[in-house]
Structure 1
Amino acid sequence: MFSIEHEFDSTVVTLVDEGTAPLQEDVVVNGFEECITVEQYDPRTDRMNKITFSISQMRDLAAALSLPEGVYLRRADDDQSS
């Protein structure tokens, strides 16, 4: 399950793990104009972990999800198609 909320300066997507145990904590993705952050609570350390991706890194990740093993370089014109 997931939810999408549009805030003043970002779009927030929350991914909720469903199914049989063990379940993972919610993942919160914040899409800002200049970057994307991914946050998840870690109950072992009682801390929220955050990773920040540049827009270019997120485009690389999106492309990588559907490609086989290897090393790739996105072309500049690939960015303009999204």
Structure 2
Amino acid sequence: MSDSDEKYWYNLTTGQVERGYVSPAVDRAGPFDSAEEAARAPELLKERARAWAEDEARDDAWGSGSTNESDAPR
């Protein structure tokens, strides 16, 4: 039994926690170390998506306070 077979996954289609590779990869989120953590997958995914969106917004705004080349006098 490999390490991944001992991990838990959240099935995005059924909403069930699974141990090991039960469902196709496209339907799984994980791996997680415990069934409890896997059960929280929807909440964890939302938290991570929010954090990534905030990071991207910060990156997009980086340097926006400085003069843009198109705004510079010629």
Classify the TM-score, shorter chain. under 0.3
- Structure-2-length-normalised TM-score: 0.25
Instruction: Between the two structures, name the one with larger relative contact order (CA 8 Å, sep ≥ 6).
Output: 2
- Say which structure is richer in helix: 2
Structure whose CA Rg is larger: 2
